[in-house]
Amino acid sequence: MGTRERQFWKKEYGTGFKDGIPIALGYLSVSFSVGILAVSSGFTVFQSALMSLCNVTSAGQFAGIRVIAAGGAILELILTQLIINLRYALMSLSLSQKLSEKVTIRQRLLIAFANTDEIFAVAMSHAKSLTFPYMLGLQTLPILGWTLGTALGGLAGQLLPDAVANALSVALYGMFIAVVVPAAKKRFPVLWIVILTALLSCVIAYVPVFEGISDGMSIIICTVAASAAGAFLFPVKEEK
């Protein structure tokens, strides 16, 4: 690796590392409740932290812990994770279009490991083409924050009251809103899609005919429908 390439890596990784600080701070607090739930469900602190290190997904972990604690079958656990986390496949398809042409297949696989909602939102709002060192920098602290927060929550155990644990779990949604709102204020298409997605989510949640649809499938339906509507109404012109 030459001097110029090292400087490029240092600059790109540093930029991504800086952009990942707010996400990491949010994950540190949110994953507290994951650790508390895991330990109270029979996991050890080490097992809880290892689970978070290998699975950077809040909804998936919450659902998985509940299935395991209830003695559910492996097939039930697999189907639950598939439905809840299928949205990451949609986000990865979108993210791949913004990656630099120099990003290899192996590097894309590494990036896909921690393509969470918040990391995806920050990456898509990045002004430039996404490079491999930038994505590594962006994901480093959130992964560490999610894992450390889970371990700390597991150590805290039952010391924290339920009200505090529930309040910490809400922080994830507040953090995601903080990522989406600035983009929605700047661009009308983004605002329109956000409003449409919220309306579709409310319809599925409160209209009786959709009562049997799970939360994970609701996310997928809303994402696909709103994205399709946005692509049709606000198409992006391709450069020749």
* pTM to 2 decimal places: 0.70
Please classify residue 123 by burial: count the beta carbons closer than 10 Å to its beta carbon, then call 0-12 exposed, 13-18 middle and 19+ buried: buried
Averaged pLDDT, 185-198: 87
C-alpha pair distances (Å), 127 with each of 13, 22, 123, 179, 238: 15, 18, 9, 15, 17
Where residue 236 falls among pLDDT bands split at 50, 70, 90? low
Out of 57-61, 133-137, 202-206, pick the least confident.
57-61
Q: What is the mean pLDDT of the chain?
A: 84
Q: What is the pLDDT of residues 120-170, one digit of tens each?
A: 989 988 888 899 999 999 999 999 999 999 999 888 876 777 676 666 656
d(CA 219, CA 213) in angstroms, rounded, equals 10
Which conformational region is residue 87 in: left (phi greater than 0), alpha (psi within -120 to 50 degrees), or beta? alpha
pLDDT for the residue 46: 93
Question: Domain boundaries in the chain?
Answer: 3-179, 187-240
